[in-house]
Structure 1
């Protein structure tokens, strides 16, 4: 491996770590803090008060989904231990993030851009994540 490909590999790994952190922070806050924890992270008001009949159900579903998001960060870190051997892990995490991005896009198409904060993750999921998959193929083949 030459020096240029070694540097490229390290940059790729750094971006995967950044993606893992993106999974950890909102994933952890939302999985363990629920809808109100997520609202606090974005500087908003509480979504559900203690007497809301929907709080238990929606909060439960929300926590589960973000628990999965948090776990994706763990998978990405494990992937980094051997990016050639564990490529299927990257591909499955990328697929799940891409499908999540399609869900976000369908929400935007149906309701419009209800909050500017949903645009950056949508772009990451629909554009950056697929590019990382293609980039992985290049980086892994240089070894």
Structure 2
């Protein structure tokens, strides 16, 4: 039964990976409904912000027990860097965004990697749990 669960979750993992890659590569013009409706973009924007809220709450949760949950903290921080890398694709394809998003890009690609390194020194993950 656990094999079936793992297989289903593995398949489910394809959805965000494939659609995420399509969104990063296709940018704002990517619309799986093929009609570029404002409903699609509003829905996608709200969905991603809901996920973003969960990332922040999960980060807070991981910090309540920083040693035992170090891997979770680090994963969430790396996810933020991945978002910055995707944002950098936008810079390459469309040019620099507004100052607010340029600052966000700096945080995602400069500050957060420094925090990951600092966190790794402060809370090493034992090899048996990595």
Q: Pick the TM interval, shorter chain.
A: 0.5 to 0.7
CA deviation profile, 1:7-65 (whole Å, cap 9, x unmatched): xxxxxxxxxxxxxxxxxxxxxxxxxxxxxxxxxxxxxxxxxxxxxx7221111111111
Q: Shift in Å at residue 110 of structure 1?
A: 1.2
Q: Which of 67, 70, 84 is 1:87 aligned to?
A: 70
Larger relative contact order (Cα-Cα within 8 Å, sequence gap ≥ 6): 1
Unpaired runs of at least 5, structure 2: 1-35, 125-130
Cα distance, 1:132 vs. partner? 1.0
RMSD between aligned residues: 1.5
Query: Could you tell me whether the CA contact under 8 Å between 2:74 and 2:119 is conserved in 1?
Result: no
Partner of 2:71, secondary structure, is helix
Displacement after TM superposition at 1:138 (Å): 2.1
- Quote how far apart the aligned CAs of 1:80 are: 1.1
Aligned residue in 2 for 1:75 = 58
The answer as to 2:90 corresponding to 1:107 is yes
1:90-129 per-residue CA deviation (whole Å, 9 max, x = no partner) reads 1221121111101111101111113222111111111111
Residue-by-residue CA offset, 1:75-99 (whole Å, 9 max, x unaligned): 1111111111101111221121111
How is 1:1-143 mapped onto 2 (pairs within 5 angstroms)? 54-140=37-123
TM-score calculated relative to the size of structure 1: 0.58
- Structure 1: which 4+ aligned runs deviate by more than 4 Å? none
